[in-house]
Copies of this chain bind each other. A is one copy, B any other.
């Protein structure tokens, strides 16, 4: 076969292998997802998945979900009731798909997730009027494109870990996300860990691992 599924991963990492569907045909992606669904009794996750992948998986696994904005295929089998408190904050409307990928991933890993959207720095009062929500979280995922200044502002306000996700939202010298990535890596406030551009999955995963420590 074309794939060697890492069935051992749930044991080792506390969560089964997640299928990155981009660069695979719909058939390949669906086949791997179905195998994962059929074999285990835990959750299954596919990212960057087209509706076509979802249709193919649903034919065999009726209880699978599809989240078109985030392009996530998800099976919530064996997931306990949500625990802890992950807050996913996003700067602008266009960052929503990435933010949602993060939220859906963290949920699949058992986290209770809240969302706070469109609170970018251009209108700071929108953020400052939700300080309480920032303070309540156990770990924060901050998703921002353009120049990514939201991360610095939030990390300056809370005493919890902040996972920063740069997005490719912008143009010209935004360089498809390089600008907020650099901005986040150099945030003048402390307590920030950064993931790859548009990597909502990675941020949600890391946030969920951190969130579990507080249980």
Contact = CB atoms under 8 A, between A and B. Distances in A.
Nearest to A166: B172
A27 B112 CA distance: 31
Nearest to A10: B159
Nearest to A48: B171
Interface in A115-133: 117-126
A209 interface: yes
Q: How many A residues are at the interface, by size bracket?
A: 35 or more
A148 B146 CA distance: 13
Given A22-B171, A161-B206, A173-B185, 20 more contacts: A2-B117, A13-B189, A15-B190, A20-B94, A92-B188, A121-B153, A122-B152, A146-B187, A149-B187, A153-B153, A160-B209, A161-B213, A168-B172, A172-B186, A173-B182, A179-B182, A190-B201, A190-B205, A193-B195, A210-B210
